[in-house]
Structure 1
Amino acid sequence: MAISTLAGIGVLGIFVPAARAFDLICMGVIPAARLSFTVPHSPESGFMQQVEFRNVMTGAGVATSDHLTFDRNNEQGQGIFRGSVRGMADVVLIDMADFQPEPGSEISVGYDGQWGRGTCAPYDR
Structure 2
Amino acid sequence: MIPEQREIVLSLSQVSRDLEALSQTIDQLDRAAVAAWSAHRRAYARAYLDAKGPVEDRKQTAILACEDLRVEAESADQATRYARERIRVMRDRLEVGRSLNAAVRSQFAAEAVGQ
* TM-score bucket of the superposed structures, by smaller chain: under 0.3
- Greater strand share, 1 or 2? 1
Structure ranking higher on relative contact order (CA contacts 8 Å, 6+ apart): 2
Point out the structure with max Rg over C-alpha. Answer: 2
Query: TM-score, normalization: structure 2?
Result: 0.23
- Greater helix share, 1 or 2? 2
